[in-house]
Amino acid sequence: MTKDEKTKIYNLLKAASDNLCGYFSPDFAGDVPEFSDDPEISNEKSASSNQASSQPELASDSTLSHINKKISECKRCGLCAGRRNVVPGMGVPNPFVLVIGEGPGEEEDKQGKPFVGPAGQLLDKMLGAIGLSRDKNCYIANIVKCRPPMNRNPLPEEADACRPFLDAQIAALKPKAILCAGSVAVKNLFHTNDGVMKLHGQVLDFKGIPVVTTWHPSALLRAPENKRPAWEDLKVFKNVLLGIEPDYCK
């Protein structure tokens, strides 16, 4: 039990006892005692603070290769235990657009590259339709850089542990615009509970960078009826890009 839990129980018992006695209860006279955490909790707390302090935040001017090295060494959350490879991201070093996905799947974990399975093929088509490609003008990254088991959504603590890497990637890559693929991406980028159903097609702002959200390609493979609204989102995004660089897709 934590010291806070013990203090709370003490205060509840004191209030109940005072009430029952109808006056100030002698059993609870004096100040509230100084409780301490049970030993196993103290150990857990110090283990997790050691883990965090052994992996300092990345400097805002870190290079991409330094960030990738830090990602490859990362043990900030439990996902490191199940990974075959980290998946930092791929694309050109000075991208026009940063695409943010969710996290690696099985094939990505095998190859150490993002979006290389069936969802990746659809993502490449979506990007190609608006003059973008990972070879030419995009960088593709994910909210978490290690595969969540059974392809589940990343847990909040996993996304939070990985966040310094995404922030450092954005600072190093300096994209002119960001495309969020799916709810996990937009929710975590903005720390909001609003997902793709609410935010798709809107032009949001992340530290001065315009952001458009659309459906994750895996979601489109499961529910192709959303391909039409996703295409509308991509047209919104293309207009944003044309406003930044009118010649970008020539």
Which residues of this protein are in contact with ligand URA, per CB under 6 A?
Answer: 87, 101-105, 108, 114-115, 119, 142, 218
Q: What number of other Cβ atoms are within 10 A of residue 144's Cβ?
A: 27
Between residues 6 and 112, which has the closer beta carbon with respect to ligand URA? 112
CB neighbour list of residue 205: distance below 8 Å, 6 or more residues apart: 211
- The CB-of-182 to ligand URA minimum distance in angstroms stands at 7
Between residues 137 and 218, which has the closer beta carbon with respect to ligand URA? 218
Q: Is the distance from CB of 139 to CB of 173 less than 8 angstroms?
A: yes
Q: Could you tell me the sign of the dihedral formed by the alpha carbons of 5, 191, 185, 208, in that order?
A: negative
Between residues 91 and 101, which has the closer beta carbon with respect to ligand URA? 101
Residues 64/124/74/49 CA torsion (nearest 10 deg)? 100
- The CB-of-141 to ligand URA minimum distance in angstroms stands at 9
CA 230 to CA 234: how far, in whole Å? Answer: 6
Q: Is the distance from CB of 138 to CB of 95 less than 8 angstroms?
A: yes
Q: b/e for 179-215, b at 16 or more Cβ within 10 A?
A: bbbbbbbbbbbbeeeeebeebbbeebebeeebbbbbb
Between residues 189 and 248, which has the closer beta carbon with respect to ligand URA? 189
- The CB-of-237 to ligand URA minimum distance in angstroms stands at 17
Residue 186 corresponds to which tokens in the numbers above?
């937009």
- The CB-of-87 to ligand URA minimum distance in angstroms stands at 6
Between residues 76 and 147, which has the closer beta carbon with respect to ligand URA? 147
- The CB-of-100 to ligand URA minimum distance in angstroms stands at 9
- The CB-of-153 to ligand URA minimum distance in angstroms stands at 10
Q: Residue number with the shortest CB distance to ligand URA?
A: 101
CA 194 to CA 82: how far, in whole Å? Answer: 29
CA 154 to CA 144: how far, in whole Å? Answer: 7
Between residues 18 and 107, which has the closer beta carbon with respect to ligand URA? 107
